[in-house]
Amino acid sequence: MMQRNNNGLVSLNNELKTRLQAMDQQAQWGDALTARLTAEAEHPRVVVGEISDPHVPSGSHQQQSSYMDKLQQLLTQRQPSQTQQNQPQ
């Protein structure tokens, strides 16, 4: 009788271990999915410069910011001359 009881407990223990491993795997997948979705959601903000990319060295952000400032200046300087060209004479 005790042997049968012991075998039942061993079987239940193995089943619970298997379930726990499956739940742990699901939790890891959930964490990975959350991290991926967060990165995907932040990507457009990184592209437009609202936030910095944690995978890019900090000096690169200064170069990118400087480049964006120069680009904005060029666009601002160019707009008045284009406006004059588009006006009827």
Q: What is the pLDDT of residue 81?
A: 52
Q: What is the pLDDT of residue 22?
A: 97
Q: What is the pLDDT of residue 88?
A: 54
**Helix, strand, or coil here: 55?**
coil
**Helix, strand, or coil here: 87?**
coil
Predicted confidence (pLDDT) at residue 72 exceeds the cutoff of 90: no
Q: b/e for 46-80, b at 16 or more Cβ within 10 A?
A: eeeeeeebeeeeeeeeeeeeeeeeeeeeeeeeeee
* Chain position carrying tokens 């223990």: 13
Predicted confidence (pLDDT) at residue 17 exceeds the cutoff of 90: yes
In terms of DSSP H, where are the helices of the chain? 2-47, 58-86
Q: Where are the domains of the chain?
A: 1-55, 58-89
